[in-house]
Structure 1
Amino acid sequence: MKSIEEALPYYENVLGLKCYNIEVVEDQKVKTAFLKVGDVKIELLEPTSPESPIAKFIEKNNGNGGMHHLAFAVEDGVATALAEAETSGIRLIDKAPRKGAEGLNIAFLHPKSTQGVLTELCEKP
């Protein structure tokens, strides 16, 4: 999305969700905001640079943004989940975990192997 500050009133006032964390992830060139719905987290992403993958995603979608990816918390660690995915023939974007928002290890699976959906594996907090 173009602006987390502009989007938050919808999520908080209309949907009744509470934002519990906003942070900038410098190496990914994004600002993130997290909202919780039961056991599910929603992460809003705002680019902090025109070179950000999120900025490119927004531009590609006529400036409208939209859902960028799905993330799944993994029980046995991201490295283990990556190895299992690769063994299963899933194409990897990340060959090894890297730091994401909230300081957690993350990695992405290629959408060509996941029915067109960019999929993130995320360490459980």
Structure 2
Amino acid sequence: MKRNGERGSILATAALGMLALLFAVGLGVDVSHLYVAKAELQNAADAAALAGASALNSSAAGITEATDRAVITMQNKYEFNHNKVTFPRTNVLFSEHLNGPYMNEGSASAAGVANTIRYVQ
């Protein structure tokens, strides 16, 4: 006895299975690219913070130099899809203590504050 109503069902099931597999592989590639980009950005941010911290010299001029070094390092260190990252000076923050509170370049350069700054974020 033939079952004419079920002919071709394996083909449809296989096609749907292949489509699901294709989507899963694509998602895996996208997620792995996301993790690589995140790691690259973290490395660039760490390099910028180290470059900024190396310029700290307990003066307002040191705060300005630290900001300049951090911005230049961030812009030169990371390119996403061959485009440089826009990194404004306002993203560079300073603190007297590792856990903050962090302040911007203007506040960190104030008299009596610049000589206590030890950390760059």
Q: TM-score, normalised by structure 2?
A: 0.23
Question: Which has the higher relative contact order, 1 or 2, with Cα contacts under 8 A spaced 6 or more apart?
Answer: 2
The structure with more helix, counted as a fraction of residues: 2
The structure with more strand, counted as a fraction of residues: 1
Q: TM-score, normalised by structure 1?
A: 0.22
The structure number with the bigger radius of gyration is: 2
